[in-house]
Structure 1
Amino acid sequence: MMRNGFTGRHMAASMVGFFTVVIAVNVTMATVASRTFGGTVVDNSYVASQHFNRWLDEAAAERKLGWTISADRSGDRADVLLRGTDGPIAGATVTAIAQHPLGRDHDRPLRFESLGHGQYRSTQSLPAGRWRLRIEIRNGKDAARFVDEVPA
């Protein structure tokens, strides 16, 4: 009988050690991922898939409008500059949902007032930090949605 050779106990210890490391790494990665995930998840992916073609049609109609936006910050307010192919768009109704990119703060609905020349400022304050604005603009029958970041 060999006393210094590789035995069943060595093999068992190797297997237990290997799987302990694998499980520890998986638990750590899953914990970090679930605490920092800031993505968007739908409640029901099948139902969301039923609307996909409609969403594509809406996006194509929005592109045809030729509207562009840029979001910025003015003190504790969000500013949106809205331009069309012929210049600034005045008289539109602008609303937005401000979302913290990492989901660390709750969503904030924003309404905007016109400052003229296609510039709109939120009537509600926006805390310091980076925010993703999901902006909806309505001007007569036309409507468009945009997503832009407000710098910190």
Structure 2
Amino acid sequence: MSKPFTGRHMTMVMVGGFGIVIAVNAYMATLAVGGFSGVVVKNSYVASQQFNGWLEQTEAQEALGWHVVVSRVANGRVSVAMQDVPENAVLTAVARRPLGEPDTRDIVFTGNPVVGFQSAEPLPAGRWLMRISVTDGDDEWRSESELK
């Protein structure tokens, strides 16, 4: 013989159902906040008008054939390895925090394109976005990468 479905049963079903919905929403909100880089254009219409120009710059950059890899080494410094980059190329970089307290730092490097570059000072722990620019005369290669 089965027991009758009571108000207590209905309460458990409702609490369990809403509990699942709240847990999934909390998880999805955590993923959304963790994946947002914080970059928003000031004017989306103006940005849309510049899009084709950005594509042309990207194609010109890819045609250079330069390869640049940014990483953080054990001592906290930023390491930049380059391949097929001219010896006279100049490297500049800016690191900024994508979320939380705003923090922007100009990164000073030692080294050269042949042996690679390393930042003169360690970068504090945490999540950073690195904007890298490598120039040689009129040729320019730019990239933004995340360091953790």
TM-score (norm 1): 0.63
Greater Rg over alpha carbons, structure:
1
Q: Residues 1-152 of structure 1 correspond to what in structure 2 (within 5 A)?
A: 5-6=4-5, 9=7, 13=11, 16-30=14-28, 32-33=30-31, 37-44=34-41, 46-47=44-45, 48-72=47-71, 73=73, 75-84=75-84, 88-98=85-95, 106-115=103-112, 117=114, 119-127=116-124, 133-147=130-144
Unaligned runs of 5+ in 2: none
Give 3-state SS (helix, strand or coil) of 2:19's partner: helix
How far apart, CA to CA, are the structure 1 residues paired with 2:75 and 2:134? 23
How far apart, CA to CA, are the structure 2 residues paired with 1:29 and 1:19? 16
Q: Structure 1 stretch 15-24 or stretch 53-62: which is displaced more?
A: 15-24
How far apart, CA to CA, are the structure 2 residues paired with 1:19 and 1:116? 59
Give 3-state SS (helix, strand or coil) of 2:108's partner: strand
CA-atom RMSD, angstroms? 3.8
Give 3-state SS (helix, strand or coil) of 1:55's partner: helix
- Residue type at the aligned position of 1:25: A
The answer on whether the counterparts of 1:67 and 1:83 sit within 8 Å (CA) in structure 2 is yes
- Residue type at the aligned position of 1:66: G
How far apart, CA to CA, are the structure 1 residues paired with 2:29 and 2:77? 35
The answer on whether the counterparts of 2:38 and 2:99 sit within 8 Å (CA) in structure 1 is no
Distance 1:14 1:147, change over 3 A: same
What displacement does 1:68 show?
1.1
- Residue type at the aligned position of 1:63: E
Residues 83-124 of structure 1: CA deviation (Å, up to 9, x unaligned): 32xxx5222221123356x85784533132444636333233
Give 3-state SS (helix, strand or coil) of 1:52's partner: helix
Give 3-state SS (helix, strand or coil) of 1:117's partner: coil
Q: Report how many residues are paired.
A: 142
Unaligned runs of 5+ in 1: none
What displacement does 1:61 show?
0.4
The answer on whether the counterparts of 1:91 and 1:114 sit within 8 Å (CA) in structure 2 is no
What displacement does 1:132 show?
5.3
Give 3-state SS (helix, strand or coil) of 1:17's partner: helix
What displacement does 1:34 show?
5.7
The percent identity for this pair of structures is 25
